[in-house]
Structure 1
Amino acid sequence: MPTVDDEGAVDPNVTFESLGLVSTLADACKQLGWKTPSKIQAESIPSSLSGKDVIALAETGSGKTGAFALPILQSLLDNPSPHYALVLTPTRELALQIGEQFEALGSSLGARTCVIVGGVDMMTQAIALMKKPHIVVATPGRIVDHFENTKGFHMRNLKYLVMDEADRMLTQDFEVEVDKILKVIPRDRRTFLFSATMTDKVRKLQRASLTNPVKIEVSKKYQTVEKLIQYYMFIPSKFKDCYLAWLLNENQGQSVIIFVSTCANAQRTAILLNNLGFSTIPLHGQMPQTKRIGSLNKFKSQNKSILIATDVASRGLDIPHVDIVVNFDIPTNSKDYIHRVGRTARAGRAGKSVTMVTQYDVELLQRIEKLIEKKLANYPSEEEEVMLMLERVTEAQRFAAMNMKDAEQAKKQGKRDREEMSGGGSKSSRGGKGGFKKRK
């Protein structure tokens, strides 16, 4: 009897045990609040347990981590050995979250997990790798650094390779690193490739790394969940900050993620909103890793109610309490819209999204509506109420601009100081003999 019908719904009689998982892992799923398998889990786990390579196409928030983690952990029970599985993922935040899920699912089995990402001391990571964890979750660039520079480190015993968010990993130019990894790990292994979309690069990677894979596609449409109410606000570009402040005032007490297009705008908007009295924190790729983790933890623990993020937070992050997603900068890639708004209305909860559309963004909105085959509703706003905040917002904009300028000057001064301390004016610093080693 099929586990998923033609409409994509999971058979209500399907349980984790009926998919072939041992009771210890089924119990671990229940402790995480997973009552029944998701569509991607119901379709892929039986094939994975039977020893097949799997390529799976599934949208964000579909339960992909469980789909590859559970078969790996069950296989580990029969043959516990170090460096048993390597999971590659494009962002540090997603790597940390996958590591947490492996630890939660595998704690009763004694499975050890290690997360290897950039922005963390290499020596500390090398020590962790030498302790021979069973599962290594990594971003491609940093694990290649360890293959090339950490003496004695190898993964010749590897039995499983997982490439998660493969489409995004390849669009972020990790192809060279992935090629290097494929050359140094055993060919005799199981490979799971998970992707939201099937691109030409993903097809090429599939041919290079998988053997006679089972292809699973649980959603052929680009769609958003039913319990997500989607709005747009059509506003003048010069008053965007004002409308954002008004919107947050209207939704006080709610947990909000605001998506912006650049790291600088994430920082600027956080300073502006904090100056207006909102409890905000930024998350973007130019922050040190410790600060990124700190921002995420403060938001997860609801210590801060508003997270201002670039697309570094648009995929994979599972934060159940998010009430609203605001697209302050409308995404230029329509598929990114689906990943962004997928941060709310998770695990059966309701949620809403508001996309701010200026006179320059109309075509982008139309592309999004065409992709999701749905018209966004107009979010009701009162221009007179919004404009009452203009004076305060203008003052906050000036404060944010000064703060950003001071930070940039401090950064430049710090760079000059470091160059002087290291003899920055000498020939060696300009690429002559003894110059800096090219960064890998």
Structure 2
Amino acid sequence: MEEDKEEVKSFKDLGVCDQLIEACDNLGWKHPSKIQAEAIPHALEGKDLIGLAQTGSGKTGAFALPILQALLETPQAFFACVLSPTRELAIQIAEQFEALGSGIGVKCAVLVGGVDNVQQSIALGKRPHIVVATPGRLLDHLSNTKGFSLRTLKFLVLDEADRLLNEDFEKAIDELLSVIPRERNTYLYSATMTKKVRKLQRACLRNPVKIEAASKYSTVDSLKQQYLFVPAKHKNCYLVYILSEKSGSTSMVFTRTCDSTGLLAQMLRNLGLRAIPISGHMTQAKRLGALNKFKAGECNILVCTDVASRGLDIPSVDMVINYDIPSNSKDYIHRVGRTARAGRSGVAISIVSQYELEWYIQIEKLIGKKLPMFPAQEEEVLLLLERVTEAKRIADMKIKEAGGKKKRRGGEDDEVEGIERYSHGKSSKKSKKR
């Protein structure tokens, strides 16, 4: 089997130096992943890279190790910049750089929205080696933070490049490319190769080596995928039924809007389930707090929007439930990629209503397979109807009350029973920016 051949390789075989091999060992990385085995040798030769790999495949290590090895050879401030579409992913990338570089004194600065600008300016004043940023906040600092520039930059990484090229970021990326040195190494990492990624490849890479550690749009074989076709009015019942059937599982439930994350999480808590929401409407501190509770196992159900579908390091998710089917079928790939990571098995269940059938058919086309149904007897599911309807009514009421309190207190964040609330009517588009 080809996979086994990859496994035999060690980091030493790839040309990684002893100090970094020791750091990998401390992180429990015994063997390079497929993308690492293929990317690192080219990167160490100084080549530009385009890496196409499924989420959870070890991409961060694939670009962090060559950058840190080059930094060891020629130490300097503002050596590398990594761009990420979300704050959480940026924080996580920086954590991985710090973990890998802890033995060699690597300093990182994270520049993201939703966090105090002044603290970030102070971090930049300490002249870090690695800057990890979301595009908008990086531009902000380049314009307004005295003495900060990327004129000496040697490496640029665009992680989740396909998302960095949507309308929210495209202009910022163009501006950034115009102010950083042309003589640099560039790594482009993406789970999917879109037309925009090709366009960016032409704009900023020199004779790149393309590495594909996955088929064009695929889900891993250890993932069991199923669907349920249900009337929209009974969606909540089916969700509660699935979560009760698999009560020992760690689950992520994906919804379409920020408001529905809070509502669903509250409804589930009213039924005695340990659910917590995460969405773009929450402050950065609360998003990280929710994530940490989930990682620590205090809550075993994370109700989230697509803000959590990419890049977040949540290693032990057993099940992904698509409560709302994504209208963009590529988002399905990213969502279900949160489970069955690093060789483990996992389950993905999509709850499809009559209004979402078309989107679901697009997903089956994209992944090239017809999925089996999740076994559920309607009579059995509807035994839950009365309890679920009451839990939903109480959740609605609590969220209305919380919204009212929030208005009276001048828009401060309010908390009811540990669940973050968001006032209704915020546009979720606005919340996604930066």
Query: Normalising by structure 2, what TM-score?
Result: 0.91
Residues 52 and 211 in structure 2, CA contact (< 8 A), matched pair in contact too: yes
2:130 aligned partner, one-letter code: I
Supply the distance in 2 between the matched residues of 1:301 and 1:131 (Cα, whole angstroms): 32
Give the deviation of 1:353 after TM superposition.
Answer: 1.1
Contact map agreement 2:192 2:216 (CA 8 A) in 1: no
Superposed counterparts of 1:133-282, under 5 Å: 133-282=128-277
Preserved CA contact (<8 Å) 2:6 2:33: no
Question: How far is 1:412 from its partner?
Answer: 4.4
Distance 1:416 1:354 in 2: 37
Deviations 1:140-179 (A, max 9, x none): 1111111111122112221111000010111252011112
Q: Among 46, 49, 59, which residue is 2:41 paired with?
A: 46
The residue that corresponds to 1:375 in the other structure is 370
Deviation at 1:33, TM superposition (A): 2.2
1:379-408 superposed Cα distances (whole Å, 9 cap, x missing partner): 111222222221111111111222232333
Flag the 1:8–1:168 CA change in 2: closer, same or farther, 3 A: farther
Question: Which one of 311, 336, 359 corresponds to residue 306 of structure 2?
Answer: 311
CA contact (8 A) 2:64 2:97 kept: yes
RMSD of aligned Cα (Å): 1.9
Distance 2:376 2:49 in 1: 48
For the Cα contact (< 8 Å) 1:328–1:356, is it kept in 2?
yes
Number of aligned positions between the proteins: 414
The higher radius of gyration belongs to 1
1:341-352 aligned at under 5 Å gives the runs 341-352=336-347
Q: 1:172 to 1:40 in 2, by over 3 A?
A: farther
Mark the runs of 5 or more structure 2 residues left unpaired by the alignment.
Answer: 413-432
CA contact (8 A) 2:227 2:374 kept: yes
Give the letter for the 2:314 counterpart. Answer: I
2:7–2:32 CA contact under 8 A, matched in 1 = no
Match of 2:279 in 1: 284
User: What amino acid maps onto 1:249 in structure 2?
Assistant: S
1:20 paired residue number: 15
- Structure 1 regions of 5+ residues with no counterpart? 418-438
Alpha-carbon deviation of 1:358? 1.4
What is the CA deviation profile of residues 28-60 of structure 1, one whole-angstrom value per residue up to 9, with x for unaligned ones?
222222221112111111111111111222221
* Residue in 2 that maps onto 1:108: 103
- 1:85 maps to amino acid: A
Q: Structure 1 residues 396 and 291 mapped into 2: Cα distance closer, same or farther (>3 Å)? A: same
What secondary structure is seen at the aligned counterpart in 2 of 1:258?
strand
Q: How far, CA to CA, are the matches of 2:257 and 2:411 in structure 1?
A: 25
How much has 1:415 moved relative to structure 2? 5.3
In structure 1, the partner of 2:92 is 97
Q: 2:167, 2:296 → 1: CA distance? A: 30
Tell me the distance in 2 between the aligned counterparts of 1:307 and 1:166.
Answer: 26
Q: Under a length normalisation based on structure 1, what TM-score does the superposition of the two structures give?
A: 0.90
